[in-house]
A and B are shown apart, each in its own frame.
Chain A
Amino acid sequence: MPGGHPAPPGATPYGNTGEPRRLSPRVLLIDPIRMLPGLLLPLAGVLVAGGFSPASFGWAALGVAGSVVYAIVRWATFTYRVSGDRLELTRALVSRSVRTIPLERVRGIDITAPPLHRLLHLAVLKLDTGAGGGEQEGELDALTVEEAENLRAVLLARRAVTPSRRPEGSAAEPEAAALYGAGTPDGVARDDAAPAHERAYGPAPDAVPGQVSGHHDERVVGRVPRSWLRYGPLSGAYLLTPFALLAGAVGLFFQVSGELRVDARTAREVFAWVEDRPALLVAAAVLLVLAMPVVGGVMYAVFNWDFTLRTRDGYLVAERGLVTRRTVSLERRRIRGYELVDGLIERRFNVVRLWAVVTGLGDSETRGQLLPVAPRTFATTVASDAVGPFSAPLRRHPPQARRRRLFRAITPWLAVAAAAVLLGWEVAALAAVVLALLGIPLGLDRYRSLGHAYDGKRLSVRSGSLRRAQAVVERRAVVGWTLRQTVFQRTSGVLTVVAGVGAGTGGYPAIDTGETQGVEFAAEVTPDWIRPFLAPPAQADTQ
């Protein structure tokens, strides 16, 4: 085992055609514990059926021993090795199967350390190859932490020198650093970002952006101080956890009751007993609602504990978690932009969440996250440092857009109210009228959110109110434009311009721009694609 010796990427212990290696044997201590829940019921069944006779204990012990042997055999027959530009996973348990993963297809590496693994100093390494559907193509469960770090360095370095992907003809080993060392491919100079960091220092003294650490080209882009965990509940994340827990408990109850042969009559008696005590139900409901922010906040803190974003050899590495420590590496070359998201309440406190827009990233909701809830100034600093700066002010959309936002926020509820009145449902009608009134500020806010801009390198569009999202995407990531105009938009003289991007959600719309404004926006970003069509046909169409 190459314990903790700091192998430089590409060098031994893997060599050019590395020896087949096994997972850490310490995982054998974890496996039986992980199997325990699955074994518990069958074992209990065996014991009960056998009437707790010595023979039944013997069978149960045999079952446990069998599962341990199975774990050992599985461990002994699974090997992996880095061979040239491929990672080979060999499983020879029953039939021999070799899974080969070309390193050039590795888009990200995800190292997770669940609690038991952390106790034994182990980690799970997952390869994201962009195979679609969030499917993992390779999982190594489990390696020692050092081994996982080494393997990651090797995989990523190899990946960078794989000839077919190499932009320049350099052959030196530390070229990953050379390629990406001087900032992002866009030449984002680090020194420029420094004064902005200082500004971000203001609100929380322990926020440490832009700190240089020893490893290769490693540098901390942003570290979220623990005091900012208090913003967590504002995002609405995990607020429904108490309900999920309740649902899980109910599900478990039904499963267990099935096993223990609790018949329907007993269940009905229990429900009747609860039904007779409405105070109990109300108390439980109040408790659940009160638990929402507390449990939500705790969950948020557990998942986002000590969130740290680093750059390392051309990768962005996000690390987080209190119990399960998770490390996600995103290849910077595949990052096309970022998205700033804030909800209604978050905007009051001037905090946002930050995601990267990455091509071919499965499970981008958790993996693409660059920052949890953090103050806006800090988030924009981190975004411009990690991805690229964007400072152009957003252009407003024409007043017709405001009329349309208002119309769409109000009229559906008015229609519902009218229908309810016709059918004689006063309460429903009243509720719909209230919602229609709430639609006025909502519509106005939705209009305020609308905007688009282009600063010569990146374009940005923003929309939404309850969940406002501003996307900033590189110009070179745009693969096409779609301009849409519904009948109603035509009568208002507005249209929606969608920038097609082969990353993130696929399309980023600028909603309800003015007719010439929208066409101009597309033409401004990619003049060669739009201008030739502007003169005779498109201009005539958009009047």
Chain B
Amino acid sequence: MSRRAIVLWLIESLIGFAVFFGGALLLAYWIGRSDWSALPGWLSDNAWLLPLVVGVVTAPLVIIEPLWRYAVHRWELSGDVVYARSGWLSREWVFVPVSRIQTVDKAQGWFERALRLATVEIRTASHAGSSTIKGLDYDVAAGFAAELARRAQELRDDAT
């Protein structure tokens, strides 16, 4: 992975944090305002605690997640098998033999373009045999995708 991927994940986790915190704020505001009798009194009185707790719990994760991801995410092409590891709390290992690859896509989102990063999407006939490798340096991704496409062409096995 490129080091700049950390920045990408940081931006993404910041957006996630904003959504979560904003949602908690809205919910707290709604609970505090409503006089729905089914809600017990202690709940609406202490509604302001909710965004506070959400903020305190998730704020450190904004920093931890990108670093953790950077430590976990790996990819490798050896012996004509693509191996990719991803996740942070949950882990995912994907093994895709080049001979079964149908398409190789290289994609760039807004932030990725700004950071000169790219995502390589490897598709087979099955979603469970497909892999998305995020946060690669653009040149690395381009080379990797071209190499994969070339090998896949050579090894194409129509068993599926």
Contact = CB atoms under 8 A, between A and B. Distances in A.
Chains A and B form a bound pair: yes
B97 A529 contact: yes
A140 interface: no
Contacts of A533: 76, 78, 81, 83, 95
B128 interface: yes
A507 B95 contact: no
B93 interface: yes
Interface string B83-98: 1010001111111110
B155 to A, nearest CB: 12
A503 B127 CA distance: 10
Contacts of A508: 128
A479 to B, nearest CB: 4
Contacts of B160: 359, 477, 479, 501-503
Contacts of B93: 481-484, 538, 541
Name the prevailing secondary structure of the A interface residues.
mixed
A532 B126 contact: no
A530 interface: yes
Interface in B8-51: 38, 40
A529 B95 CA distance: 7
A500 B90 contact: no
A500 B97 CA distance: 11
Contact of B91 (A499, A506, A530, A541): A541
Q: Which of B85, B92, B93 has the most CB of A within 10 A?
A: B93
B159 A500 contact: no
B100 interface: yes
Interface string A511-543: 000000000001000101110110001100100
Interface residue tally on A, bucketed by range: 35 or more
Contacts of B74: 537
B91 A481 contact: no
A500 B127 contact: yes
Contacts of B159: 476-477
B60 interface: no
A487 interface: yes
Q: Which of A481, A486, A490 has the most CB of B within 10 A?
A: A481
Contacts of A498: 128
A16 B93 CA distance: 52
Nearest to B122: A480
A500 B126 contact: yes
Counting from the closest, the 8 A-B pairs by CB-CB distance are: A502-B125, A480-B129, A500-B129, A507-B128, A502-B160, A500-B128, A500-B126, A479-B129
19 contacts: A359-B160, A476-B159, A479-B97, A479-B126, A481-B93, A481-B94, A481-B128, A483-B93, A484-B92, A485-B90, A487-B89, A490-B90, A500-B126, A501-B128, A503-B160, A507-B129, A508-B128, A526-B97, A533-B95
Interface of B: 38, 40, 74, 76, 78-79, 81, 83, 85, 89-97, 100, 124-131, 159-160
Given A483-B95, A506-B125, 17 more contacts: A359-B160, A422-B40, A480-B96, A480-B124, A481-B94, A481-B95, A481-B128, A483-B93, A490-B90, A500-B124, A502-B126, A503-B160, A506-B128, A533-B95, A537-B76, A537-B83, A541-B93
